[in-house]
Structure 1
Amino acid sequence: MPRALLRLRFGLAVVATVVLVACRGPGPGDSDPPTNLSTWEVRFSHVLSSSSEFHLMAERFRDLMLERTDGRFRVVIYPSGQLGGERVAFEQIQVGAVHMAITGTPVLSGWVPEGQMFDLPFLFETRDHGLSVMSGPVGDWWRDLLLERTGVRSLGFLDYGFRHVYNTRRPVEAPEDLAGLKLRVLQNATYLAAYSALGVQATPMNYGEVYSALQQGVIDGGEANAIGFVSSRLHEVAKFYSFTSITYNPITLLVNEPFYRALPRDIRETVDRSAADALAYQSELARRMEAAALEQMRAGGVEISRPNLAPFAPAVRPRIRDELADRLPDGEALISRLVAEAERTASERMPQE
């Protein structure tokens, strides 16, 4: 039998199984005693390793749901892109072959182009600032748009922070140090434009291919937060890590909406509460893990630099903003709204920081 037909049959079988499992419980809105007879087998996909904060957060969610539903809501986690990269996982979650996943707004801009405005370089001052904006009205607006267009619900945002440049050739201390570097960059128009404006040979690539590409010299480096850099063992082959803070990366926890709505009301509420608790845990954990990752980098001989970012911004402003405003419907209005929210949030946080 041709492989394509085998894959098609397998995919249909998976979807059929998911539908069957999702239909075991009563209809949406019910919370009557029969729910204690129902069980749910949930497939949860993400692209990072089993030592990453993504995976530890997924495990916390799994454990909370198992405890709070007396073992009826059972989450099976598939790390390291076992079920496919972020784009593939999102397509699977849309059709119900995967129930839950973790992915970022840069990837999701293929379905919700407006999310590219979050990718504007040097938009947020700190990771706390970025998380505050994404957890506010603008982030809620994007979550509603995602649900409306794709049938996938966002349960909230992770505290991932900024993506910083790493490479095999030199420390990045000034904008000219980026010139000529061939870096793996997320396949997102705004990312590609921003890095290209800084002289980078921006190269989209599946995350799972990055390690071997670095080893073979296919690319010089890429961009990731410190935890992802270490948990994916990229520090073994790339010995320069620079806090460039060019892009803030909103990462979100997703669930298939038909599956979610088919859950009884009490289980849906438990999903919401457990997701919020797991996200709070991830934020606390991420700060500790970043400090540990930096220590691991130093121990592994990675040179860490913290460049002055002031000279970097003129290379991408206002060019990238203008280009994005032209690409998006009502782009200028959307971007102005986001910038105003970022400024308002920053001013509110100033007395506390």
Structure 2
Amino acid sequence: MGYVSGSRDAGGSPRRTHPQPTVGHIGGPVAVVVAIALWLVLGAAGARAEQALRLGFALAQGSPHDTFAETFREELGRLTAGSLQVENYCCFKLGGDQELVRKLQLGTLDATIVAQNNVGPFFPKIDLLSLPYILRDHEHAVRVLDGPVGQQLWGDMPEVAGVHVITIAYIAFRHIFNTQRPIATQADFEQLKYRVPRNAVMVDTYKAFGADPVPLAWSETLTAVQTGTVDGGDLPVDVIYSQRFHEVAKHLALTGHFAMTPAFLVSDRFMRGLSASEHTAVYAAARVAAAAARAQVTSREATILDVLASDHGVGITRPDKTPFIAAASTVKQTFAAQRGSEYDALIKAIHDVE
């Protein structure tokens, strides 16, 4: 960001101007002070005119994360007439999910898009969204996340963690992929070794389902599947496809046991530096970006399933969810008992949303 230092001649030196007799002439040290003050004011205005928001995320180009980020970039630039410019960094360029959240807290990054399970270590209340079958379907999820219950979940996050949840970028249900065999029943599921995120709720869920999970960072997941360290894991269909898991894992079971609800996070430090109109523009641009990313997820899922089956030889099963849902209820009960009455009340509030 450059500073405007006043008028200069062709050689780059300040132009000399003669004092106007009707105004009077300020000379000596006072003139120097005035010149410096003008330089600072004009410089600050010039810098403000092109403030950058650095947004980092882990998923690849073409993913729903990328759709959100690019739409947000375009919309925020339009709403602010270019005064806020978004710089997007995909594909682990600035680190993995939890590292990105830490950078927000440190002030070395302005924004990120991170799955809620990777936000939990910094703000435990959001772990509620990682509970199995806590969100019944897409419509229920929208009403929970975009309504008053969502604000109950993360309204105090700026004070607690120094980070704002601007919106939930999209909603996508996670399904089980593996390299070994079709999963038609819970008994089939129990025989395999799965990668899970480093999140206590998700680890406990897989144990309740009868598996012995292997907690791994997202950045290690594809390699672990390729090398046989694990047999599989779970991801939304769009992410399985955009991250190329289908190239190694040829079995997909549509269980929808977790909802992936990536939060669009902006640091409190960045938000406090905005004007009122810029603050409004950030939220407005995020709503437009979320609509685009959510539309991508919902409109493409059926198409991607067809492509995975017909073009890539992925076998797709639809196991009975009843035993999984029964096991999930014990996870929720244990979670509420461990976390206390506030969490119990929030679980009830989520369930009560029609």
Instruction: Summarize the alignment of residues 143-182 of structure 1 with structure 2, pairs less than 5 Å apart.
Output: 143-182=154-193
Bigger radius of gyration? 2
Could you say which residue in structure 2 is the equivalent of 1:306? 318
Instruction: Summarize the alignment of residues 71-90 of structure 1 with structure 2, pairs less than 5 Å apart.
Output: 71-90=82-101
CA apart distance, 1:36: 9.1
- Is the 1:167–1:238 Cα contact (8 Å) retained in structure 2? yes
CA displacement, residues 53-76 of structure 1 (integer Å, 9 cap, x when unaligned)? 110110011011222223232211
Match of 1:213 among 209, 224, 227: 224
CA displacement, residues 81-121 of structure 1 (integer Å, 9 cap, x when unaligned)? 21111100000011111101001221111122222222222
Do residues 321 (structure 1) and 324 (structure 2) align? no
Alignment coverage as a number of residue pairs: 312
Rounded to whole Å, the distance in 1 between the matches of 2:332 and 2:76 is 42
Could you say which residue in structure 2 is the equivalent of 1:55? 66
- Is the 2:236–2:260 Cα contact (8 Å) retained in structure 1? no
Could you say which residue in structure 1 is the equivalent of 2:22? none
CA displacement, residues 181-215 of structure 1 (integer Å, 9 cap, x when unaligned)? 11111111111001011122211212222222111
Aligned residue for 2:213, secondary structure, equals strand
Aligned residue for 1:169, secondary structure, equals coil
Could you say which residue in structure 1 is the equivalent of 2:344? 335
**With structure 1 as the length reference, what TM-score do the two structures score?**
0.83
- Is the 1:44–1:76 Cα contact (8 Å) retained in structure 2? yes
Rounded to whole Å, the distance in 2 between the matches of 1:35 and 1:326 is 55
Rounded to whole Å, the distance in 2 between the matches of 1:286 and 1:71 is 29
CA displacement, residues 130-189 of structure 1 (integer Å, 9 cap, x when unaligned)? 222122222111221322211100111122221111101112221111113111111111
Rounded to whole Å, the distance in 1 between the matches of 2:350 and 2:250 is 37
- Is the 2:54–2:87 Cα contact (8 Å) retained in structure 1? yes
Aligned residue for 2:321, secondary structure, equals coil
Closer, same or farther: CA 340–76 of 1 in aligned 2, 3 Å: closer
Could you say which residue in structure 1 is the equivalent of 2:10? none
One-letter code aligned to 1:342: H
Aligned residue for 1:56, secondary structure, equals helix
One-letter code aligned to 1:309: K
Do residues 264 (structure 1) and 272 (structure 2) align? no
Moved over 6 A (4+): none
One-letter code aligned to 2:312: G
Instruction: Summarize the alignment of residues 124-203 of structure 1 with structure 2, pairs less than 5 Å apart.
Output: 124-203=135-214
- Is the 2:105–2:267 Cα contact (8 Å) retained in structure 1? yes
Aligned residue for 1:97, secondary structure, equals coil
**With structure 2 as the length reference, what TM-score do the two structures score?**
0.83
One-letter code aligned to 2:329: R
One-letter code aligned to 1:308: D
- Is the 2:57–2:112 Cα contact (8 Å) retained in structure 1? yes
Aligned residue for 1:182, secondary structure, equals coil
Do residues 91 (structure 1) and 102 (structure 2) align? yes
Could you say which residue in structure 2 is the equivalent of 1:20? none
Could you say which residue in structure 1 is the equivalent of 2:133? 122
- Is the 1:180–1:201 Cα contact (8 Å) retained in structure 2? no
CA apart distance, 1:307: 1.6
Q: For the aligned residues, what is the CA RMSD? A: 2.0
Aligned residue for 1:227, secondary structure, equals helix
Unaligned runs of 5+ in 2: 1-39
